A and B are shown apart, each in its own frame.
Chain A
Amino acid sequence: MSTSMTMAKALNEGLRKAMEGDPKVVIMGEDVGKLGGVFRITDGLQKDFGEDRVIDTPLAESAIVGTAVGLAIRGYRPVCEIQFDGFVFPGFDQIVSQVAKFHNRSAGLVRMPITIRIPSGGGIGAVEHHSESVETYFAHTAGLKVVACANPSDAYWMIQEAIADDDPVIFIEPKRLYHAAKDEIEDAPTPIYQARVVRPGQHVTLAGYGPTMSTLLESATAAAEDGIEAEVIDLRSVSPLDIPTVLESVRRTSRLIVVHEAPQSFGVGAEIAARVTEHAFYSLEAPVLRVTGYDTVYPPSRLEHDWLPNLDRVLDAIDKIMEY
C-alpha cells in the first residue's frame, strides 16, 4: 500500500482493512458493487469480498438502514452507504427511532455496531439534495455518534475505528475532498472521538470539521501574513464533542470562531459557543463567532461559493473578533 493517497482511496483501503479484519463486516448500499459507488469509494470490494459482503441493494434508504438493524441483531456489523446527504431522509426514521434507540431499548443487551457513511457538504456544483450538511440532525439524537474526516489519513483510520465501534456511527465524508490532493497516511490513528490541533497559534482559535478544514488552514495561512496567528482545531467528532481540547485552546487565545457548512441556527457552532461560555467565560475577550451556511435552503450551485464559509468570510470574522 502506498502511504500517500487521496481521501477516496484512503476510505477504500480503510474499508478493505475492516472487511479483512472481521468477517461480519458487510457493506450495503445503492451501486456499491460493480460500480464501486457513485464516488468509487467501494471500488473493487465486491470483486474481492463477494456479493454477500458487498451488497448492491434495492433503491430504498429506509430499508438500507432498517435491514442493517436486523443484520446487527443477527451478529453482523453493517456499513451502510447513503448515496448523497440529501437522500438520508427516507432512512431518517430507521436511524433515529431504531438504530439510535435499539441498544437502549434492549437494556444494553443488543448492540448496534452500524456505520452509516454519508458523502456530505457542498462545493461540487451539484443539483438540489446533493450538497447538504446533515450532521446536526444526528448529533441531536441520543445514541448516535457523528464524526467527520477531513484528510486522507483520518479517512483511513477513522472509518476503521467507526466500524469497530459497538455504537452506531454517522460517518460524514466531505465529498468535495474525495479526490483532492493526496496525503500521507499516518502510522497510527488519533483516537476517533478526540479533536486535534492541526496548526498552533496564540491569537484566535478556529474550530471546524470535515469539509471546512481546508478553508480554515488556508485562512490561518492568510491571517499569519497580517501577523495574526490562528490556532486551528479539527474537531473530528461532532458528537461526542471533545470540548476539553477547545477549552484548552480558548484559554490561551481568548477568541473562538466556529466554522461549518451546516446552517447557523441551533448548529454545532451554537453548541460549542454555549459550552465555552459555560466553562471558559472569563477567558474570553470577545463573543464566540460563527461562520456557517446561512439559514436558507442550500443555494443553486452558481451561488454556493459565496454562500459557503470561504476564505474571505473566515478572514472577515477574524478581523471582527480581533477588533472587538
Chain B
Amino acid sequence: MSEHVHAVHPEPDLVQLLTPEGQRVEHPDYPLEISDEDVAGLYRDLVLVRRIDTEAIALQRQGELGLWASLLGQEAAQIGSGRALKPHDMAFPTYREHGVAWCRDVDPLTLLGLFRGTNLGGFDPREHNFNLYTIVIGAQTLHATGYAMGVVRDGAVGTGDPDRDTAVLAFFGDGASSQGDVNEAFVWSSAGNLPVVFFCQNNQWAISEPVTTQSRVPLYQRASGFGFPGVRVDGNDVLACLAVTRKALDDARNAQGPTLIEAFTYRMNPHTTNDDTRRYRLGSEVETWKLRDPIARVRAYLTREARVDLDFFDDVEHEAKKLAEHVRSGCRALPDPTPESVFDNVHVTMPDELQSQRAEFVDFVSEVAS
C-alpha cells in the first residue's frame, strides 16, 4: 500500500472513501483495507462494464437492439456493491444492473436477449445467484424479501459459518422508493429481521422526474421509520460502495437484519435509448456530475498513489476492445426464437387448448412462409 493523503470528509452524511480527485479518505464507520492490486481490479471492472454499455448503445443505434438502459455514471455503485457479494449470496437486479451482472460472471450476451427481443430473460437465476431482470418497478424487492425468508428457513443465517450464512441484495432506484412493493418489502424484512440489503441507486432521475417528486427527505432516512439502519454513500466512489455494502451484507448474514443503502449517483445518459433528456434537465447538471466521474478518480488514485504503470491501463483498454468485439459479434449472432417457441414454458405442462393453438399457429406460419 502506498501512503494515502487523509483529507477532511466532504459531507457528514455521505460516506466517501475516495474523493472525485482520487484522494483516499477515511471514514470511522467504514474502514477499508484494500490492496492496490484489488483497486486495480475494480478499475478494470469499471472500465469493462462502461465498455459493454457503450457497445450496447451503439448496437441499439444500429438497430441490433430494440432498447438499452444505460448504466453510464452508475458503474461504481454497481461494481462496489456487486464485488461485496459472496458467491452464495443472491442479487435481485432491476433492468440496469449490467455492472452487477458482470460481477456475478454473467456473460453480457446473456443480458442482451431481453433488449434485442430474442427472449424475455432466458437464464436461470440460480446459476450465478443473479436474478432475472425485473421491469416492473420495485417488484423484485419483494422477491428478494421472500428469498431471504427462504434463507432463514434453510438455517443459512447467523450460524457463523462464512460458507453458509447468506445475504440477499435487492437493487432498486429512487423512483421505485415510491412504490408500494418497496415499502412492503421494508416492512416485511424489518418485522422479520431478514437478511436482505436494499441498495437504492439514487441516480436523481426517474425518467423525467427528479428525486424531489418522490421524497421530501433524503431516501436513506426512510429506513429509520421502518426500523433499520440507512446510510448514504457516494455512489460514484467504488471503494465506499464496496465498504458500505460489505458491512451491510455482513450484518445481514449475521442475523442483524436489513440495511438500506442509498448510493448517491447520477444517470449520465437518458433513462433508456428512447428517452430525451433535453425536455427535462439542464446540460450543466450533467457537466457538474462529469467532474465526479466514478472511473477517473480511480485512475487518478492508481496513477498518483499506487503508481500503477501505463502498461496496466493499456492492458485494460485492450481487454475492453476484445470485450466490445465479443458483445458486437455475439449480439448479432443471438438466434431468433422460432415462432412456435412462444408457446413453450407458458406452463410446465402445456394444456390441450394451448397445444391446439400452437398447432394452428405453426400451420399458419408455415403456410405464410411457403
Contact = CB atoms under 8 A, between A and B. Distances in A.
Given A97-B136, A143-B346, A193 B143 contact: no
Q: How large is the interface on A (under 10, 10 to 19, 20 to 34, 35 or more residues)?
A: 35 or more
Nearest to A243: B353
B137 to A, nearest CB: 10
Contacts of A73: 125-126, 131, 143, 146-147, 150
B191 A63 contact: no
A66 B147 contact: no
A271 to B, nearest CB: 10
A126 interface: no
Nearest to A66: B142
Contacts of A145: 347
Interface in A53-112: 53, 55, 57-58, 60, 62-63, 65-76, 78, 90, 93-94, 97-98, 101-111
Contacts of B153: 26, 52-53, 76
A111 B347 CA distance: 9
Interface stretch (B8-16, B99-107, B116-124): B116-124
B150 A76 contact: yes
A88 B73 CA distance: 40
Interface string B298-339: 000000000000000000000000000000000000000000
Interface string B158-199: 000000000000000000000011001101100100000000
A106 B130 CA distance: 12
Contacts of A57: 188
Contacts of B345: 103-104, 106-108
Identify which of B131, B150, B181, B347 gathers the most chain A CB atoms within 10 Å of its CB: B347
A301 B242 CA distance: 59
A240 B351 contact: yes
Interface in A236-256: 239-241, 243-244
Contacts of A65: 142
Contacts of A53: 153
A304 interface: no
Interface in A131-175: 142-143, 145, 165-167
Nearest to B119: A107
Given A60-B184, A60-B187, A74-B154, A67 B351 contact: no
Identify which of A76, A103, A104 gathers the most chain B CB atoms within 10 Å of its CB: A104
A177 B120 CA distance: 42
B148 interface: yes
Contacts of A193: 351
B132 A106 contact: yes
B139 A71 contact: no
A98 B353 CA distance: 23
A142 B342 CA distance: 11
Interface string B244-283: 0000000000000000000000000000000000000000
Nearest to A70: B146
Q: How large is the interface on B (under 10, 10 to 19, 20 to 34, 35 or more residues)?
A: 35 or more
Contacts, number: 142
Contact of B142 (A63, A75, A101, A142): A63
B272 to A, nearest CB: 19
**Dominant secondary structure of chain B at its interface with chain A:** helix
B348 A111 contact: yes
A110 B123 CA distance: 9
Given A76-B153, A94-B139, A63 B147 contact: no
Contact of B151 (A26, A74, A109): A74
A70 B124 contact: no
Contacts of B131: 73
Contacts of A165: 348
A52 B151 CA distance: 12
Nearest to B191: A58
Contacts of A240: 351-354
Nearest to B145: A67
B149 interface: yes
A242 to B, nearest CB: 9
Contacts of B349: 166-167
B344 interface: yes
Contacts of A55: 149
A99 B122 CA distance: 16
B121 A107 contact: yes
A103 B149 CA distance: 20
A124 B153 CA distance: 38
Contacts of B184: 58, 60, 62-63, 66
14 contacts: A55-B149, A63-B142, A63-B188, A70-B145, A70-B147, A73-B125, A73-B126, A90-B180, A93-B139, A105-B121, A106-B125, A109-B124, A111-B348, A167-B349
Given A52-B153, A166-B348, 9 more contacts: A63-B181, A67-B146, A70-B142, A70-B149, A71-B146, A74-B149, A98-B143, A239-B351, A240-B353
Interface of A: 26, 52-53, 55, 57-58, 60, 62-63, 65-76, 78, 90, 93-94, 97-98, 101-111, 142-143, 145, 165-167, 193, 239-241, 243-244
Interface of B: 92, 119-126, 131-132, 134, 136, 139, 142-154, 180-181, 184-185, 187-188, 191, 344-349, 351-354
The 3 closest A-B pairs by CB, nearest first: A70-B146, A66-B142, A74-B150
